Structure 1
């Protein structure tokens, strides 16, 4: 069966995946871009921004797995937009006309709306569903490929608690945020369900992979 995967999900040393005070201008709140500097320094990350150059090595190798074998994504309402986006029928996400997903994307929200087709093969579908229901829907759309569980942290925590994540790549960056939304709250003992490996990079981050036993 196709896997449910998490790729390039970044947390601070104290476990926060986003900062406090999210707005349109600051989608990660007071964290700014500090959580993702590692990614946009890589060749892959710079190419995603339409730029050249960047670093190779382990950070670039992990970053490139973001799109490898992915046929659909599930994301939470907080990733799709800042608080209040549901009240704006013109809002189509913060990524511009050609979002970086290029697959069907299922946005979990209590305010469903008609699907939005974007450039590059991305279509946003807005659904109200449990994690298990959303994963079943996304797998049908993925055409045999894997489903990426895209976050944010609250949604990912729900999928982890439900035992639905087969493989997860998290990146721990040497930043202390102190406040925001933590990933690991309520997931005590999670390590017992996974084989965990860690790789440190010269860029100062630690890549951790969680693979469910038997996958």
Structure 2
């Protein structure tokens, strides 16, 4: 069976995966881009955005694991758009006409709408269902490849609580946000089900991986 994977999900030292308030101009609220600057500096990101340069090393190595072997993505409503996006029939996500996913992408929302086919192979589908049912649907669409659980923090937390994540990479960034949406709330003892490894980068980021025991 294909795996459910999380990659490059960045949190602050105090565990927040996003700041507040989220808006059309500030997708991560008061956090801005501070959680993702480590990734923007990598050669992987520069290649993805067709810019020269970028750093190699540990950050780049982890960033590159984002794409290979992924055939579908699941994300929450808050990753797809700001509060109230469902009231705008023209809203098609933050990423322009060619989103970076290039796979069937399933949005968990209480406000389903018809699917949206984008350039580059991304099609957005809108589901009002449980994590388990969403994963079953995404696996069918992934055609034997893995399913990436893309975030935000609430969705990843729900999938972890349901025991559905097989592998997870969290980048702990040396900033303090103080408020926002926390990843780890309600997941006491999670580490018992996973082999956990931590690697520190010269950038100050600690890359923590969770791989299900026996995988």
TM bin (shorter chain)? over 0.9
Alpha-carbon offset, residue 87 of structure 1: 0.2
Within 5 A, what are the aligned runs for 1:15-164? 15-164=15-164
CA distance in 2, matches of 1:110, 1:50: 36
Alpha-carbon offset, residue 80 of structure 1: 0.2
- Unpaired segments of 5 or more residues in structure 1? none
Alpha-carbon offset, residue 46 of structure 1: 1.9
Alpha-carbon offset, residue 193 of structure 1: 0.8
Question: Which deviations, in whole Å up to 9, do the C-alpha atoms of 1:25-81 show, x marking residues without a partner?
Answer: 100000000000000000111222331110001110110111110000000000000
Q: Secondary structure at the match of 1:9?
A: strand
CA distance in 1, matches of 2:91, 2:136: 26
Structure 1 counterpart of 2:188: 188
Runs of 4+ displaced beyond 3 Å = none
What count of residue pairs does the alignment treat as equivalent? 215
Aligned-residue CA RMSD in angstroms? 0.6
Q: Secondary structure at the match of 1:192?
A: helix
- Unpaired segments of 5 or more residues in structure 2? none
Q: Secondary structure at the match of 1:150?
A: strand
CA distance in 2, matches of 1:214, 1:145: 20
Q: TM-score, normalised by structure 1?
A: 0.99
CA distance in 1, matches of 2:79, 2:47: 22
CA distance in 1, matches of 2:128, 2:48: 30
Q: TM-score, normalised by structure 2?
A: 0.99
Question: Which deviations, in whole Å up to 9, do the C-alpha atoms of 1:117-146 show, x marking residues without a partner?
Answer: 001000000011100000000000001000
